């Protein structure tokens, strides 16, 4: 069914696992993700960015997600990723989304509280849950570029969720968006997560920038003409540890992009004479499904969560 994240997060918190949030942009990504979830009997969050809204449009995405629910019978939350403002939130709630993120992390604290509160009031009145963000992830996010991490302050986190009424909170503990997360040794500030968990027990935390960046997929890309150098993601053990703590939602987009590109490049390389899109898009879809099944087993622990 099409659901909010309320029950998902309650069960994930108690069961020490996390629900995967995968960014969707087209039919093959949706099918790869939900077929994996069906195979593993796992609930899932399908995340739609501003870029995805622009690329595919809310109507196509919602209609394909409805088809996915009908086809697989799994529980899906349809979520706005990095919502920039109330206008975008209203647009996707009108389209039938069940969860929205308002990302006010680039504002000063009081302005973040103000815009988040405004979105919470509107969304809750429409039966939709809200994720907010506190702290700044280093790296590139749309047009905003942050040089360094601004780790989430645990005292401020408690004040923020109390004042805004948001349903989940994305925090900064050293992850970042994209394929180049660490120049050297991976380092996440688990003591900050622990402190947040202590200050607000039972409250669901979200981890953005949480792709593991498969070196296998990068090797396939590069073997077939790609040029991806120096990419590094979050080690699987760290993600597993976060899932077992207060982190109830783990966001992955880069991993989907790499799997899709690896599948397409390999199909092109293996059969240069072929030109039926179902050949290479089908190969990409298969790699995405394998990736998500691996995530559910090894990273999230969300098998049999329905
Ligand atoms: O957090 C950002 C996601 O990776 C979405 O990226 O805005 O290019 O779709 P996008
Ligand atoms: P990655 O870039 O690590 O896949 O993170 C995705 C994300 O946080 C989407 O909101
Ligand atoms: Zn993100």
pLDDT per position as a tens digit, 96-127: 999 999 999 999 999 999 999 999 999 999 99
Residue 252 within any structural domain of the chain: yes
For range 232-238, the mean pLDDT: 98
User: Is there a catalytic annotation at residue 167?
Assistant: no
CATH of the domain at 261: 3.20.20.70
Name the strand (E) or helix (H) holding 81: strand 76-83
Ligand 1 atom closest to 251 (CA): 1
Backbone angles phi, psi at 146, to 5 degrees: -105, 130
- Which percentage of the chain shows pLDDT scores above 90? 95
Give Dmax over CA atoms of the chain in angstroms: 60
Is residue 141 within 6 Å of ligand 2 at its C-beta? no
What pLDDT does residue 107 have? 97
Distance CA 192, CA 246 (A): 11
Pairing of strands 205-207, 247-252: parallel
* pLDDT exceeds 70 at position 142: no
To which residue do tokens 């809200």 refer? 130
Under 8 Å CB-to-CB from 272, ≥6 apart: which residues? none
Look at 141 and 198; give whichever has higher pLDDT.
198
Task: Please state the domain count of the chain.
Answer: 1
Ligand 2 atom closest to 233 (CA): 3
Q: Residue 203 has which token pair?
A: 């409250």
Ligand 3: distance of its center to the CA of 279 in Å?
31
Q: 156-196 pLDDT, tens per residue?
A: 999 999 999 999 999 999 999 999 999 999 999 999 999 99
Grouping H, G, I as helix, E, B as strand and the rest as coil, residue 281 is helix
88 marked as part of a ligand binding site: no
Residue 100 within any structural domain of the chain: yes
Per-residue pLDDT band at 88 (split at 50, 70, 90): very high
CA dist 237 to 24, 211, 251, 299, Å?
A: 25, 12, 16, 8
Mutation choice for ligand 1 from 177, 180, 209, CB with most ligand atoms inside 8 A: 177
226 marked as part of a ligand binding site: no
DSSP structural state of residue 272: T
Q: How confident is the prediction for the chain on average, in pLDDT?
A: 97
The structure's pTM equals 0.97
C-alpha distance across the termini of the chain, in Å: 11
Residue 305 within any structural domain of the chain: no
Is residue 270 within 6 Å of ligand 1 at its C-beta? no
Q: Residue 306 has which token pair?
A: 């329905």
Pairing of strands 139-141, 144-146: antiparallel
CA dist 193 to 157, 232, 267, Å?
A: 11, 22, 42
Distance CA 189, CA 207 (A): 12
Q: Which domain holds residue 180?
A: 6-297
What pLDDT does residue 144 have? 63
ipTM for this prediction: 0.97
Q: 260-292 pLDDT, tens per residue?
A: 999 999 999 999 999 999 999 999 999 999 999
Residue 222 within any structural domain of the chain: yes
What pLDDT does residue 26 have? 98
What pLDDT does residue 259 have? 99
82 marked as part of a ligand binding site: yes
- Out of 75, 81, 153, 255, the active site residue is 81
* pLDDT exceeds 80 at position 256: yes
Residue 302 within any structural domain of the chain: no
Residue 304 within any structural domain of the chain: no
* pLDDT exceeds 70 at position 153: yes
What pLDDT does residue 32 have? 99
Residue 1 within any structural domain of the chain: no
Residues 67, 100, 140, CA angle at the centre, nearest 5°?
A: 105
Residue 94 within any structural domain of the chain: yes
């Amino acid at each position: 069914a099409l659901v909010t994240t309320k029950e998902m997060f309650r069960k994930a918190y108690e069961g020490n696992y996390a629900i995967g949030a995968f960014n969707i942009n087209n039919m093959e990504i949706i099918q790869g993700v939900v077929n994996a979830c069906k195979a593993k009997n796992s609930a899932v969050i399908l995340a739609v960015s501003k870029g995805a809204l622009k690329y595919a449009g809310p109507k196509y995405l919602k209609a394909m997600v409805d088809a996915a629910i009908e086809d697989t019978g799994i529980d899906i939350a349809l979520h706005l990723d990095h919502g920039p403002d109330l206008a975008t939130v209203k647009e996707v709630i009108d389209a039938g989304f069940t969860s929205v993120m308002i990302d006010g992390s680039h504002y000063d604290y009081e302005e973040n509280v103000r815009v988040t509160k405004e979105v919470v009031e509107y969304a809750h009145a429409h039966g939709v849950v809200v994720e907010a963000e506190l702290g700044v992830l280093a790296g590139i996010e749309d047009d905003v570029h942050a040089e360094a991490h601004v780790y989430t302050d645990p005292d401020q986190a408690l004040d923020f969720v109390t004042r805004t009424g948001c349903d989940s909170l994305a925090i900064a503990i050293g992850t970042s968006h994209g394929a180049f997360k660490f120049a050297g040794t991976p380092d996440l500030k688990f003591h900050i997560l622990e402190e947040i968990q202590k200050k607000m027990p039972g409250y669901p935390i979200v981890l953005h920038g949480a792709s593991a960046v498969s070196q296998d997929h990068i090797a396939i890309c590069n073997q077939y003409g790609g040029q991806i150098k120096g990419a590094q993601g979050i080690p699987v053990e760290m993600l597993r540890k976060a899932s077992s703590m207060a982190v109830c939602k783990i966001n992955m987009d880069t991993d989907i992009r790499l799997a899709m590109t690896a599948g397409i490049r390999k199909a092109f390389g293996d059969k240069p004479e072929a030109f039926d899109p179902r050949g290479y898009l089908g190969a990409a879809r298969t790699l995405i499904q394998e990736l998500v099944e691996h995530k559910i087993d090894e990273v999230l622990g969300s098998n049999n969560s329905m």
